[in-house]
Amino acid sequence: MIITIDGPAAAGKGTLARRLADHLGLAYLDSGKLYRAVGLKLLRQGLDPADAGAAARIARTVGIGDLDEAGLDDEATAQAATLVAAYPEVRQELLLVQRDFAAHPPENRPGAVIDGRDIGTVVCPDADHKFFVTASLEIRAARRLNELLERGVESIHSRVLRDMKARDDRDSGRETSPLVPAGDAHLLDTTGLDPDEAFAAALALIEQ
């Protein structure tokens, strides 16, 4: 079983994906961490994330084993990831990693749950179940602000809101693999849902 969960930042797709994977005994992949791994390697090697050629070369070296690296959650890594994610060459390299994960889930799991921006449209267009998880921009910004504060990162709501809007525009407007719902995806708006309610709604759709 392959389940794809796409959507913008802080919509709740990661939390939902992990819970579904745990509940169903499936492997879980946060595809965004692959792009963060590229960004982190670039920074550690003193390379410029704005250099598409360097980013593509680094992307060829990234694999699932890089997703446990310390530093993936750093703000500098996140900013680098947003740059490299727009390069078609990088996306093509990481597409192979994601499809291999779906075709051969680790630990002999009977399937995988993968979340990201283009999983249901590009990575696994033939997935058994597809979700597009969203929420209002204000709610997503508030969630991200709380997450940053819990990690001890000082921030203000207006800046988080501005940065999130800019990221939404980049993700939806890029030519390669833009953030759009798959035509056959279930739309799940979590604006008024807590994690338990979102999980119950998604699981009910799968069990149908």
pLDDT digits (tens, 9 = 90+) for 76-111: 998 899 899 989 999 999 999 999 999 999 999 999
Is residue 171 within 8 A of residue 177, CB to CB? The reply is no
Q: What is the CATH number of the domain that holds 11?
A: 3.40.50.300
Q: What pLDDT shows up at residue 153? A: 76
Q: What pLDDT shows up at residue 187? A: 97
95 CB neighbour count, 10 Å cutoff: 17
Q: Does residue 193 belong to any structural domain of this protein?
A: no
Q: What pLDDT shows up at residue 150? A: 82
In 3D space, the residue among 101, 87, 99 whose CA is nearest the CA of residue 42 turns out to be: 87
Q: Does residue 196 belong to any structural domain of this protein?
A: no
Q: What pLDDT shows up at residue 155? A: 78
The dihedrals phi and psi of 28, each to the nearest 5 degrees, come to -125, 135
Q: Does residue 207 belong to any structural domain of this protein?
A: no
The parent domain of residue 134 ranges over 2-187
Q: Does residue 144 belong to any structural domain of this protein?
A: yes
Greater model confidence, 61 or 176: 61
- The domain total for the chain is 1
Question: What's the token pair of residue 175?
Answer: 């030519």
Q: How does pLDDT run across 8-27, given as a tens digit for each residue?
A: 989 999 999 999 999 999 99
Is residue 64 within 8 A of residue 151, CB to CB? The reply is no
Q: What is the mean predicted confidence (pLDDT) over 107-116? A: 97
Q: Does residue 85 belong to any structural domain of this protein?
A: yes
Q: Where are the alpha helices (DSSP H) in 137-186?
A: 137-150, 157-173
Q: Where are the beta strands (DSSP E) in the chain?
A: 2-6, 27-30, 112-116, 129-134, 186-189
Q: How does pLDDT run across 28-45, given as a tens digit for each residue?
A: 999 999 999 999 999 999
- Please state, in angstroms and rounded to a whole number, the distance separating the CA atoms of residues 44 and 111: 34
Q: What is the mean predicted confidence (pLDDT) over 51-74? A: 95
Question: What's the token pair of residue 23?
Answer: 């509940």
Establish how many alpha carbons lie within 13 A of residue 202's alpha carbon, considering only the half-sphere containing its beta carbon.
Answer: 35
Is residue 164 within 8 A of residue 110, CB to CB? The reply is no
Q: Does residue 194 belong to any structural domain of this protein?
A: no
Q: What pLDDT shows up at residue 205? A: 96
Q: How does pLDDT run across 152-204, given as a tens digit for each residue?
A: 777 788 888 888 898 888 888 888 888 999 999 999 999 999 999 999 999 99
Q: Is the pLDDT of residue 49 over 90?
A: yes
Q: What pLDDT shows up at residue 41? A: 98
Q: What pLDDT shows up at residue 172? A: 87
Q: Does residue 22 belong to any structural domain of this protein?
A: yes
Q: Does residue 201 belong to any structural domain of this protein?
A: no
